[in-house]
Structures are given as C-alpha cells and as structure tokens.
Amino acid sequence: MSLPITRNAGRAEMRRRATILLHWLVLTLLMLVLASGLQSGALNAAYGLAGLAMAALALAFGLMNGPGPKLDGVLRSAHPWLSRGMYILLAWTSFSALLLAFGTVLPGPAARDLMVALFAASALHAIFHLWRHTALGDGVLRRMTPRFLHGML
C-alpha cells in the first residue's frame, strides 16, 4: 500500500523540480534573448523550447500554484485567472520565439513585443509574490525557489 503513495510522491517531487528548473531557466533565457536583441537563433530556440515545456507541463498536470489561505478578496478570485494568463502569454511568446529561430514570424505582435510584455508581467508577478511572502507571511517564495535557498527566506 505504501508503494503507490511513494510513487505518487516521487512523481509530484519530479514535477515540482521540473517546474522550478523551467521557471528559472525561462526567466534567464528571456533576459538573455532580450539582451541579445533576438539576434541569436540558438537562444531563441532554447527559450522557445523551455517556455513551451513549462506550458506543456502546466497544461498536462495543472498549475502548481494557488492563492494560499491568507490571500483573500479580489486578489484571491483573480489569482487563478492571472496565472492562466501568464501561462498563455508564456506559451505565445515561446512559440513566437521558436518560430523566429527558424526564420518564420507569427501574425500579430512581434516576438520582441511579446517578450517585453512577458518580462513586464513577470516583474509584476515577482513583486506580487514578494508582497505575499513578506506582508502575508504565507511562505509563497518557498514554492518556486530551490530548497538550498529556503534558509534565506
């Protein structure tokens, strides 16, 4: 009877680790792509693949985040929709960057415009979670930081 629990716990931990790795990899690659001016096809492809992998993980297994017990009111109601919006923007931006790496562009906003929008949304996302961690004290930063950094939080 303990085997399925262990197996499920192992899968959940693998998913957590993959999500954390992709979260920080996507942010790093996004900054590198923006700094390079979208000139590097390899960086665009790496960013696109990492972003699509993160979006696929969320699509296949659901979002790992939640509003937490201390978040209430409008922010609690908006939280799942804002998360979904971030993932949609991530997937759109990643797909656009991947196509750009192969010399194709999507109709609509340019890849750079999407990336700047995602970077701005990411900055607001970070500020929101810093506020949650400090003002609400709900420990939300522990969800997406590697365990070796938890002592600093």
Closest C-alpha among 59, 51, 60, 54 to residue 17: 54
| 101: number of Cβ within 10 Å | 21
Can you list the pairs that 36-39 forms with residues at least 24 positions away whose Cβ atoms lie under 8 Å?
38/97, 38/100, 38/111, 38/112, 38/115
Identify the pLDDT of residue 45. Answer: 97
Identify the pLDDT of residue 103. Answer: 93
139 contacts 133 by C-beta, under 8 angstroms:
yes
Identify the pLDDT of residue 146. Answer: 75
CA pair distance 83, 152, nearest whole angstrom: 26
Identify the pLDDT of residue 7. Answer: 66
Chunked into runs of 10 residues, the chain (153 residues) has average pLDDT values of: 59 88 95 92 96 96 83 89 95 96 93 97 92 83 76 69
For residue 121, report the phi and psi dihedrals to the nearest 5 degrees.
-65, -35
What tokens does 95 get?
A: 């797909």
CA pair distance 14, 80, nearest whole angstrom: 23
CA pair distance 31, 152, nearest whole angstrom: 24
| 82: number of Cβ within 10 Å | 17
